[in-house]
Structure 1
Amino acid sequence: MMARLDELDRKILRALQTDAGQSLDEIARQVGSSKTPVWNRIRKMREAGVMGPSTVLVDPEALGLGTCFFVLIRTSEHEAGWQQRFLAALRARPEVQEAHRLAGEIDYILKVRVANARAYDVFYQALISEVRVFNVTALLSMEEIKSETALPI
């Protein structure tokens, strides 16, 4: 269910998406309010599930994880047990930054972040040893052109 947000809530969310580490005073100044109402709105939005936990965005290049693969997976298995094993395998692999179940010819797409092609192969070998898949296609991202975490609110 979609949360009801007014313009002040949206301004607060935009400020937090830009930098969640800024002070309440700074957010209040940006949105044209005072600290207490801003804090109350943030608390209410957290309680309503509009916002999850605050995290830090880390530069993958700085940690030697500059290689990104998009992995397309087709499977002939569609039973609940297979899907549970597959999802557990994905959740256990920190290299998988995103995983989506798709409509169409491809069943799943993964965003996998690793150090290099050899590290991807280690990931791939581990994945196919845990669950059976029909076809895997790995696409190497040559350049990240745009990456946003902020939603267009």
Structure 2
Amino acid sequence: MDLILWRHADAEYGVDDLARPLTPKGVKQAKKVAAWLRRQLKDVAGYRLIASEAVRSQATAQYLNPQYEINPKLNPGCHNACYLEAARWPRDIGKFVVIVGHQPNLGEVASLLVTGKELDWNTRKGGIWWIQRRVMDDGRVKYVLKAALSPDLL
């Protein structure tokens, strides 16, 4: 199973938290990362794309695919377990899931999967963590950080 944790792109301040739209910079970030993700996922049949109820999360997701799920459990302030539940991690073996969410949850979930501990990992707005779950021949499970990417690198 592959899980891509994508932080929403740069958003405006000063309005209701869930209603914050992307800034012009955020639109550029979302477009860049979405284009990169489309190239990576072009041979993947049927990945799931999930966004929170926040306008900035949905606006980021729509640049990858206008058809996405909205899950209120991913809203700012949620528990980290909600991210794994939304992804059905690790039950959906062989599936690709992209979650467009928020800090600090994204970094904490990424660190939990990679290190086994919830650490204060951060990523830039519009950045991703791509984590792959692999089952070895002897049955052991490994979590591999396949990519960590910032829009600035594209």
Superposition TM-score tier, normalisation by shorter sequence: under 0.3
Q: Which has the higher contact order (CA 8 A, sep 6+)?
A: 2
Structure showing the higher helix proportion among its residues: 1
When the two structures are superposed, what TM-score results if normalisation uses the length of structure 1?
Answer: 0.23
When the two structures are superposed, what TM-score results if normalisation uses the length of structure 2?
Answer: 0.23
Structure showing the higher strand proportion among its residues: 2
